[in-house]
Amino acid sequence: MKRIYAILFLLLFSQYCDAQLLDNNFHVYGHFGGGGIGGTEYTANQGTSYSIAGLRAEILFKKGWGLNYNFDYQMRKDSITQFHSTMGVVGAPFLMGFGIYKGFDGDTTTKGAGTFLLGLALLALPDGISVHYNVAPGWDVSPYANILGLDFIKDKKNDELFIKYACSFGIKGTYILKDRLTFTAYAETRQAASFGWGFGGGAGIGVVLGRR
């Protein structure tokens, strides 16, 4: 009987499952989740829990690869909050501003334009990569590794600010409904340097864009 129900369920939703994630160029979704973080010397070896929300995006390639961009706000139960972004967000504005300055200070316009373009290229630097597998009509499973991130950290208790290298590794599953709307669930481990490894998960709702 359970098998019959499963078959009926698949038949019922098959009309919505023709599209695949890799039939599109972009995937953008908002997400929320939570988990736990191990203790470190900085936190006197006391672990804590966290909640997280943010916006994530991927540039998708037909052969199954994706480039990841993550902008997350992590709220811990202790006094620490963290905002996650890519490394390019820090260096790109400086180079772009320097390029504009060079273009108007009597120096060569070419040098200013080159520096500005280098800043734009750095701004496009992804957080990491993902590998996509179409496991069933409408379903996509993707392990990912984000190794080019930064966390902007504030310890409200000690009134301290930090910028730390950050990385995350995980796996997510995405379901496409009616060609555009997506539902995503993920599990991951993540760390900002010297602030402990965390493990958690979450869910998101988004859209795919740029139909091939």
* CATH number of the domain where residue 140 is located: 2.40.160.20
Q: What is the mean pLDDT of residues 76-94?
A: 82
Mean pLDDT of 45-57: 92
pLDDT exceeds 90 at position 104: no
* Residue at 51 is within a domain: yes
Of 55, 61, 49, the C-alpha closest to 21 is 61
Identify the domain containing residue 182 by its residue range. Answer: 22-72+128-149+168-211
Measured at the CA of 46, the angle between CA 42 and CA 51, to 5 degrees, comes to 95
Cβ–Cβ contacts within 10 Å for residue 71, how many? 14
pLDDT, mean of residues 187-201 = 94
pLDDT at site 129: 96
> Higher model confidence: residue 102 or residue 3?
102
Domain-located, residue 105: no
| Rounded distance between C-alpha atoms, residue 162 and residue 93, angstroms | 19
Tell me 124's DSSP state: T
33: CB partners within 8 A, 6+ apart:
51, 52, 53, 186, 200, 201, 202, 203
Number of domains into which the chain is organized: 1
- Return the half-sphere exposure (C-beta side, CA atoms, 13 A cut-off) of residue 168: 29
Q: Is residue 100 part of a domain?
A: no
- CB–CB of 126/149 below 8 Å? no
User: Is residue 15 situated within a structural domain?
Assistant: no
Q: What are the pLDDT digits (tens) for 156-167? A: 988 999 989 999
Round the average pLDDT of the chain to a whole number and report it.
83
User: What confidence tier does 179 reach under pLDDT thresholds 50, 70, 90?
Assistant: confident
Assigned domain for 119 exists = no
DSSP code for 38 = -
Count of other CB atoms within 10 angstroms of residue 115:
19
